């Protein structure tokens, strides 16, 4: 379970929500943070671009054309 402190820390390090693509500094991203425990990011948290996501049996990768790849 994600605590309120975890959500606050997540929002403090991101400009954009990596799940819904909206401004991360606004309230209401508790469901996004909870979903991110099970899902890969869909939007780049730095530039808000939609990322190319590939889910594999051993993890996932998400690629932003501007900021590169992240894996999980």
- Per-residue pLDDT reduced to its tens digit, 47-67: 999 999 999 999 999 999 999
Q: Which segments in the chain show pLDDT lower than 50?
A: 1-3, 6-8, 10-12
> What is the number of residues in the chain?
72
CB atoms within 10 A of CB 16: 18
Per-residue model confidence (pLDDT) at position 36 = 85
Separation of alpha carbons 17 and 41, rounded Å: 9
Separation of alpha carbons 71 and 29, rounded Å: 22
**Partners of 49 in the β-ladder:** none
Per-residue model confidence (pLDDT) at position 5 = 52
């Amino acid at each position: 379970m994600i605590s309120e402190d975890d959500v606050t820390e997540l929002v403090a390090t991101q400009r954009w929500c990596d799940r819904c693509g909206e401004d991360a500094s606004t309230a209401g991203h508790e469901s996004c943070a909870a979903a991110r425990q099970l899902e890969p990011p869909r939007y780049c948290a730095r530039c808000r671009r939609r990322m190319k996501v590939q889910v594999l049996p051993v993890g996932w990768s998400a690629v932003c054309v501007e900021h590169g790849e992240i894996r999980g």
